[in-house]
Amino acid sequence: VTGASFVVFNGALKTSSGFLAKSSIVEDGLMVQITPETMESLREALRDKKDFKITCGKTDTGDMKEYVDICWVENEEKTNKG
């Protein structure tokens, strides 16, 4: 679990890169590089206020993956203190 002050979603990741998505820490935030198709799905999920999961890692490996979960919560005060 990583806490971040901001999140940047970059929808320019090429399918030919060999990655499903890539996440990296930049300054005190998180940058998530995703394909244009995933970006469109993310936009739709945000418009509909639905949870969304992004799987990060190489496409051809069965190794442990990283996930970026976007979750809607009922009470923001409990999750964002401090």
Residue-level pLDDT at 1: 64
55 belongs to a structural domain: yes
44 belongs to a structural domain: yes
Task: Report how many domains make up the chain.
Answer: 1
1 belongs to a structural domain: no
User: What's the length of the chain?
Assistant: 82
49 belongs to a structural domain: yes
Task: Answer for the pair 24, 4: CB distance below 8 angstroms, yes or no.
Answer: no
Q: Which domain holds residue 17?
A: 6-70
Q: Which amino acid is at 67?
A: Y
What is the domain-level CATH number for residue 29?
3.30.1360.220
16 belongs to a structural domain: yes
Give pLDDT tens digits along the chain (82 positions).
Answer: 667 789 999 999 998 998 999 999 888 899 999 999 999 999 999 999 999 999 998 888 766 678 999 998 887 665 555 5
* pTM of the model as a whole: 0.79
51 belongs to a structural domain: yes
38 belongs to a structural domain: yes
81 belongs to a structural domain: no
Give the bridge partners for 22, in sequence order.
Answer: 33
Residue-level pLDDT at 80: 56
Give the SS3 label for residue 16.
Answer: helix
